[in-house]
A and B are shown apart, each in its own frame.
Chain A
């Protein structure tokens, strides 16, 4: 996927970054599997999934099997692009290609994430 490197504050929060990293590798992941893989509580995962869903980066599907509701998460095309662009920018920064000119809005500012994590 060819994308323009760009930091995305929605993706950048640690839990959401890891969620996106996993979901880009699969078609979809079940809530319980994602929770266990991230080692977070149900409420934390729900919150992070909601942020990604509200941004249009993630689609949640709920199905009832044996009277139990199963929630599956799948990254949307926009989500995959946002994550790819974010990773590309991170790699660019690490490689030292990001030249921040004095007075540039990014100079002196840490990479900020949107929302709690």
Chain B
């Protein structure tokens, strides 16, 4: 009889602890949302990279634009972490990883399109592709965010 009571008490305590874990993860899921400007900024970064890196540039201009792209990416990542307070391990998360891979593939495809259009239309082609990349990155980025939050909640 006492053993049953003890088991019941332990089970209730364990359930309460699991509830605390679920609450903590739900709170985290809300806090890992980057600020509204982050994905538009990422889209502009992708646009800038496509528009510059697919052009025929001289060596120094190429080096300068590559450095500018890398510095801007570093700044974007730091700004995202600073704004949320958390550095993600999103690549460990199943659905999020799929979205990131999808986003990377789309960016590569757009980059190749930029290269192809540069050959046909000159500098205008990559710029147009870059402009198209902005909304694409924003949409895919927000979808990937939703996937992260769903994953975190699902594990709760």
Point out residues on A near B: beta carbons under 8 Å.
Answer: 12, 14, 17-19, 21-22, 25-30, 32-34, 36-38, 72, 87, 89-91, 93-94, 96, 98, 100-102, 106-111
Whether the pair B2, A21 counts as a contact (CB closer than 8 A) is no
Number of A-B contacts (CB under 8 A): 101
Q: List 17 A-B contacts (CB under 8 A).
A: A12-B17, A17-B17, A21-B20, A25-B28, A25-B152, A27-B87, A30-B85, A34-B85, A72-B87, A90-B18, A94-B11, A100-B10, A102-B3, A106-B6, A110-B13, A111-B10, A111-B13
A25 to B86, CA, bound (A): 10
Whether the pair B10, A110 counts as a contact (CB closer than 8 A) is yes
Interface of B is mostly: helix
Whether the pair A98, B28 counts as a contact (CB closer than 8 A) is no
Point out residues on B near A: beta carbons under 8 Å.
Answer: 2-3, 5-7, 9-11, 13-15, 17-18, 20-21, 23-25, 27-28, 31-32, 84-89, 152, 155
Question: Which residues of B are found within 8 Å of A110, using beta-carbon distances?
Answer: 9-10, 13
Question: Which residues of A are found within 8 Å of B88, using beta-carbon distances?
Answer: 26-27
Whether the pair A26, B21 counts as a contact (CB closer than 8 A) is no
Q: Which residue of B lies closest to A19 (CB)?
A: B24
| Cross-interface CB contact of A28 among B9, B18, B23, B86, cutoff 8 Å | B86
